[in-house]
Amino acid sequence: MKTFSQRTKEMLSKLEIETSCCCEAEMMGILMFAGKFRGTEIRVSLESLDAIKRFAELLKFCLGTEVQIKSLRSSYFCVLSDKKVLQKILEYENQKSGFSQSLIKNECCSAAFLRGAFLGGGTMTDPNKNYNMEFKMYSTYIHSEFKKLLENMGLGFRTIKKNNGFVLYTKNSDIICDALAHMGAFSAQMEILNVKIEKEVRSEITRTSNGETANMDKVMEASSRHLMAIDDIEKIMGIDNLPDDLKEVAVLRRDFKDLSLEQLGKKMVPPMSKSGVNHRLKRILDIAENL
* Binding stretches for Zn ion (CB under 5 A): 21-22, 106, 108-109
Provide the 10 A C-beta neighbour count for residue 16: 6
Contact criterion met (CB below 8 Å) for 45 and 135: no
Q: Which is nearer to Zn ion, 28 or 261 (CB)?
A: 28
CA 25 to the chain's CA centroid: 15
Q: Which is nearer to Zn ion, 107 or 151 (CB)?
A: 107
Q: Please, what is the minimum distance in Å from the beta carbon of residue 92 to Zn ion?
A: 15
Q: Which is nearer to Zn ion, 62 or 108 (CB)?
A: 108
Q: Please, what is the minimum distance in Å from the beta carbon of residue 21 to Zn ion?
A: 4
Q: Which is nearer to Zn ion, 25 or 261 (CB)?
A: 25
Q: In terms of C-beta density within 10 A (0-12 exposed, 13-18 middle, 19 or more buried), how is residue 235 classed?
A: exposed
Q: What would the 3-class secondary structure string for 133-173 be?
A: EEEEECCHHHHHHHHHHHHHCCCCCEEEEECCEEEEEECCH
Q: Please, what is the minimum distance in Å from the beta carbon of residue 26 to Zn ion?
A: 9
Contact criterion met (CB below 8 Å) for 146 and 97: no
Q: Please, what is the minimum distance in Å from the beta carbon of residue 109 to Zn ion?
A: 4
Provide the 10 A C-beta neighbour count for residue 167: 18
Q: Which is nearer to Zn ion, 109 or 142 (CB)?
A: 109
Which helix (H) or strand (E) segment holds residue 71: the answer is strand 70-72
Q: Please, what is the minimum distance in Å from the beta carbon of residue 112 to Zn ion?
A: 6
